[in-house]
Amino acid sequence: MFSDGMSGVQVAAALEISTKSAYAWRRAWTAGGDQALTSKGAPGPDPVLSDRLVQKLIAALGEGPAAAGWDEDQRWTLARVRTLIGRMFHITVSIATVSQILHRAGFSPQQPIQRAAERDETAIEHWRRHQWPAVKESRADWARGSASSTSPDFR
């Protein structure tokens, strides 16, 4: 855009950026050409695990917690994934780092639904349909008023 003769204001409007950024880019382009405008990558430190190691971790997560030695339940927690990373790659990472790795890999936090194995859905539905209405009182029968001792409705 700069080589086509566009001004900083025009570039800013076309790319929906601030004019300050457009002028900074123009100065960089003037000093170093197109190479000066190439991306320097994501800001911040390099990832703890390379893409190849993340793929190995995902494969291990796919095998389930039992394959990694957790027989109590079949849930991956951040602490368990952290331990797994330590076992597999011999590095120690924080829980926050584990969360970031999993988020970037497409995982999301989920709360499992825990229901009793003895749960009888038909009995629950029967209770909700036939007994609950009898137990539940109509709101029209409730006493109106305030519980405040300063209210004239207080008795």
Contact between 82 and 98 under an 8 Å Cβ cutoff? The reply is yes
Q: What are the backbone angles phi and psi of residue 114, rounded to the nearest 5°?
A: -105, 115
SS3 93: coil
pTM for this prediction: 0.50
> Quick one: which of 113, 51, 60 has its CA closest to 82?
60
Instruction: Say what the pLDDT of residue 148 is.
Output: 64
pLDDT at 73: 82
pLDDT at 78: 94
- Cα Rg, the chain, nearest whole Å: 31
Low-confidence ranges of the chain (pLDDT < 70): 112-113, 137-155
Q: What is the pLDDT of residue 101?
A: 93
Give me 69's structure tokens: 């030695």
